[in-house]
Amino acid sequence: MDSLITAAARALAAGDLIGVLKRVGLRDDAPALALRGIAMAQLGDFVRAKALLQNAARAFGPREAVARARCVVAEAEIALVSRDLGWPPKALDAARATLEKHCDWVNAAHARHLEVRRLLLIGRLDVAERALAGLDPAPLPPASRAAYELVVAGIAIRRVRAKVARAALARAERAARQAGVPALMAEVESASLVLNTPAARLIARGEERLLLLEEVEAVLESGALVVDACRHVVRGDDTVVSLARRPVLFALARALGEAWPGDLSRDALVKRAFRAKHADDRIAHACEWRLGGFAPSLGRSRA
């Protein structure tokens, strides 16, 4: 590898994107194309970056499997950032296997991070946690450790585990500062804002107030009966009943929860559940039948 490519790679690692383009901006050999592609991606020109990386992957010779795999990983990251969830995940998995086979643990770990982040985006938290469990962040360089902790925090936030998320973000901030990459530090700072921004609205006893994630966690751990309008479930103690596919029943539960400790008339419930202006006998009968099936579970829960 020549001195310009080496210098461009160092500039890229330090977040000096202009320095990368100054060194390899006019070259069209495979390493230069790859470095330019990554730099353009970080500058936000995803279309140009994707084309450059694809050209680089084709330009690398048959013996340069690791280099081609790194291009695939970079292209997968572009797809993830641009929310192109149709990008084939099997290609990323094959690239990660190639990198692990050739002991490129840093880029293999980065590929694993991308896999987990994609799983988070599509809501597969259990699979994401299992994938992350097989990765040890200790031997990774600071930038990769920061990325790892960001993923840990992302899972914790979605699990409503505020303390775990805050600890992970603190570790991510330390690692990002050690790496000295401005874009990574900005990403950590942006993720940290989530914990200091209202995450939910609590309606209780006729009053409303905004809650931070820690406060949401405290409510869910309190054992009180909670009608969760975010996930469309009813929670009480260790019991969680999903009503995501039963919208009318959920509407009834929500209306009763918002009115507690007061009560609602039949007409009010019908209007909330069926969005009807007036309650005729047919709708009222359906409402009573649904309430009859739901009331016992409310009776066994603590408010």
Q: Where are the alpha helices (DSSP H) in 209-280?
A: 213-221, 247-259, 266-274
* Confidence label for 182 from pLDDT (cuts 50, 70 and 90): confident
| Structural domains of the chain, ranges and CATH numbers in brackets | 3-134+182-196 (1.25.40.10), 222-299 (1.10.10)
Residue-wise pLDDT tens digits, 251-282: 888 887 777 777 777 777 777 666 655 555 55
Residue-wise pLDDT tens digits, 233-255: 888 877 888 888 888 888 888 88
Q: What is the pTM of this model?
A: 0.70
Using alpha carbons, list the distances in angstroms from residue 213 to 123, 179, 199, 231, 274: 19, 29, 6, 15, 32
Using alpha carbons, list the distances in angstroms from residue 6 to 12, 230, 254: 10, 49, 61
What percent of the residues of the chain are helix, what percent strand, and what percent coil, each to the nearest 5?
A: 65, 5, 25
Q: Examine the pLDDT at 5 and tell me if it is beyond 80.
A: yes
Q: Examine the pLDDT at 198 and tell me if it is beyond 70.
A: yes
Residue-wise pLDDT tens digits, 71-102: 999 999 899 888 888 888 899 999 999 999 99
Cα-flanking dihedrals φ and ψ of residue 302, to 5°? Answer: -90, 135
* pLDDT number for residue 275: 65
CB 92 within 8 Å of CB 73: yes
DSSP state, residue 195 = G
CB 234 within 8 Å of CB 186: no
